[in-house]
Amino acid sequence: MHSPPVPFWQRSGAIAKYPLHPAALATLLLLTILGMLGWLPNSGWIFSIIIYFAGYKYAFEILLRTANGDLQPPEVSIEAQNGSVWRLLGVLLALALAVKLTFVAGYVAVGVLMLVLFTCIQPALLALLATGDGLLTALNPANALRMVGRIGVVYFVVAAALLLIQIAVLLASRSLAATLPGFLASLVIDAVFFWGLFVSFHLLGLAMYQYHDALGYTPSRHADALPTPHDRDQALLDRVEVRIEEDDLPGAIALLRDELGERPVAPVVHERYRQLLREAGEAEALDAHAGRYIAMLAQNGQDRLALGALRDALDTNPQFSRLDPEHGTGLVRRALELGQFRLVVDALRALLRADPRHPQAPKWALHAAQLLQVRFGDTTEARAVLQATRETCRNEAGIVDLDAALRTLPSDGSST
């Protein structure tokens, strides 16, 4: 369990001083110094765009880190990936452009109203992006309203705080522009802007972290402390051993069966389940589990484990027939590549038992018979495989191939 975070409204001093942390301060100074490139003739505006993009990218990383419970600023290397920053800039540019066009058109009152609305919905937009939603989702006002409904009046406290920070930055910039020389004023204004930007995004991250339950996400700081699959598997096996010590074999089996039906577990859990089924003499359950387990391993690309599980199933029951044709044929190819010829033969015969009328059954029988005769010198078994498949085959071309193969075998059952 994690103790509740300190409410963000009790951290005003720490929030204001957040950019003084070494990593954040180094980034702020670097961005401010690079801002001088904006004074270059002709190309200066391009550098300004790049620098502001880098500033927003770092600020968004601050938001992500803080929202996940990490109160230390990120290093200068930016970690925000998968388009998050592009979506952020898309939101900000779309809204800023709408506000600017309104003012340009002369609708000052409407522009002011839009600016206030933008400030009110900005926390929700950024929060939606930070929790992994796309740009269209973030721009949907209904989603912002739902977020407001989740955390109530606190949302407006956050919005008001962000608005006050933005107003303070604006007033400071205007004052500096009026009192300092142009070049120096530009540097200081940039520093103030990035300070306010980092503080704003840190504040929003704190609010998100404080209300993560209402917002419906698990901070990585908390997720790291959740039980891992290994921990859950070990805890499950421990409970099973308690049942065994209490001479409750059916209860131990039921416990494992229920867990296997709910989630993926490690191979060691499957092995223990099979051991207990053998002890209980539940042959049908053993075969049923083997079929599902082999298919699951094959589907996940764990061919070697699947081949081991198949070998175990065949050793437990030589008449095992729960092999799925789709996965079984792939495992036959893999066993052949690994030189496990006995397993190839046994797997092919398992496929024939599982679906003797499958369109590929004649090919399976021919392959198995060839290995039995040539590699193992067992013509009798080769003939038995071909004859059994011939009796159930409904494929005329397959019957012709099977008859031809039978004619090549010695009639006395000896090997050639």
Chain segment 365-392, per-residue pLDDT in tens: 999 999 999 999 899 999 999 999 999 8
Query: Percent of the chain having pLDDT more than 90?
Result: 22
pLDDT at position 40 is 79
The pLDDT score that the predictor gives to residue 249 is 92
pTM of the complete model beyond 0.85? no
Whether 272 contacts 237, CB under 8 Å: yes
What is the longest distance spanned by two Cα atoms in the chain?
A: 112
CA 291, CA 180: separation in Å to the nearest integer? 79
* Token representation of residue 151: 């955390």
In the predicted structure, residue 118 carries a pLDDT above the cut 90: no
Is there a contact between 381 and 372 (Cβ–Cβ < 8 Å)?
A: yes
Per-residue three-class SS string for the chain: CCCCCCCHHHCHHHHHCHHHCHHHHHHHHHHHHHHHHHHCCCCHHHHHHHHHHHHHHHHHHHHHHHHCCCCCCCCCCCCCCCCHHHHHHHHHHHHHHHHHHHHHCCCHHHHHHHHHHHHHHHHHHHHHHHCCCCHHHHHCHHHHHHHHHHHCHHHHHHHHHHHHHHHHHHHHHHHHHHHCCHHHHHHHHHHHHHHHHHHHHHHHHHHHHHCHHHHCCCCHHHHCCCCCHHHHHHHHHHHHHHHHHCCCHHHHHHHHHHHHHHCCCCHHHHHHHHHHHHHHCCHHHHHHHHHHHHHHHHHCCCHHHHHHHHHHHHHHCCCCCCCCHHHHHHHHHHHHHCCCHHHHHHHHHHHHHHCCCCCCHHHHHHHHHHHHHHCCCCHHHHHHHHHHHHHHCCCHHHHHHHHHHHHHCCCCCCCC
Q: If you average pLDDT over every residue of the chain, what do you get?
A: 81
Q: What is the pLDDT of residue 384?
A: 93
Residue 363 neighbours by CB distance under 10 Å: 16
Give the pLDDT confidence score for residue 37 in this predicted structure. 83
The pLDDT of residue 415 is 45
Q: Using one digit for the tens of pLDDT, what is the confidence trace for 242-280?
A: 888 888 999 999 999 988 887 788 888 999 999 999 999
Give the tens place of pLDDT for each residue, 133-177: 555 666 677 777 777 777 777 777 887 887 787 778 777 777 877
Per-residue pLDDT at 1: 45
pLDDT digits (tens, 9 = 90+) for 283-330: 999 999 999 999 888 888 888 889 999 999 999 999 998 988 888 899
**Does residue 102 have a pLDDT over 80?**
no
| CA proximity to 347, closest of 316, 366, 321, 378 | 321
- Please give the pLDDT value at position 80: 46
179's tokens: 């009192």
Query: Can you say whether the dihedral through the CA atoms of 312, 315, 318, 319 is positive or negative?
Result: negative
C-alpha span between 33 and 253 (Å, rounded): 68
User: Each residue of 10-30: pLDDT tens digit?
Assistant: 788 888 899 998 888 999 899
CB-based contact 71:201 (threshold 8 Å): no
For residue range 356-365, list pLDDT tens digits in order: 889 999 999 9
Answer whether residue 84 shows pLDDT above 60: no
The pLDDT score that the predictor gives to residue 288 is 93
pLDDT at 343 over 90: yes
What is the C-alpha to C-alpha distance for residues 49 and 278, in angstroms, rounded to an integer?
69
Q: With beta carbons less than 8 A apart as the criterion, state whether 147 and 124 touch.
A: yes
